[in-house]
Amino acid sequence: MNQIKVQTEPFDMAAIQEALRRSSAGIGAVVTFVGQMRDINEGDAVTTMTLEHYPGMTEKALQAIVDEADDRWDLMGIHVVHRVGPLQPLDPIVLVAVASAHRGEAFQACEFVIDYLKTRAPFWKKEQTPEGERWVDARHSDDQAESRWKK
Partner 1 sequence: MINLRFFARLREELQTGSETMEYSSETQTVEAVVAQLKSRGGSWSDLFGDGQTVLVAVNQEMCDRDSSISDGDEVAFFPPVTGG
Chain residues in the site for a copy of itself (CB under 8 A): 13-14, 17-18, 21-22, 25-40, 89-90, 92, 101-104, 106-107, 110-111, 114, 141, 145
Answer for the pair 58, 121: CB distance below 8 angstroms, yes or no. Answer: yes
Gyration radius of the chain over CA positions: 16
Cα separation, 76 vs 12, whole angstroms = 20
Among 2, 5, 19, 35, binds partner 1 (CB under 8 A): 35
Compute the 3-state secondary structure of the chain and give helix, strand, coil in percent, each to the nearest 5.
Answer: 35, 35, 30
Q: Is 80 helix (H, G, I), strand (E, B) or coil?
A: strand
Among 46, 76, 93, 97, binds partner 1 (CB under 8 A): 93
Residue 78 vs 93, nearer CB to partner 1 = 93
Verify binding: residue 124, partner 1, rule CB under 8 A: yes
Kindly list the residues in this chain that would bind partner 1 in the complex (CB under 8 A): 35, 51-54, 56-57, 60-61, 82, 93-94, 114, 117-126, 135-139
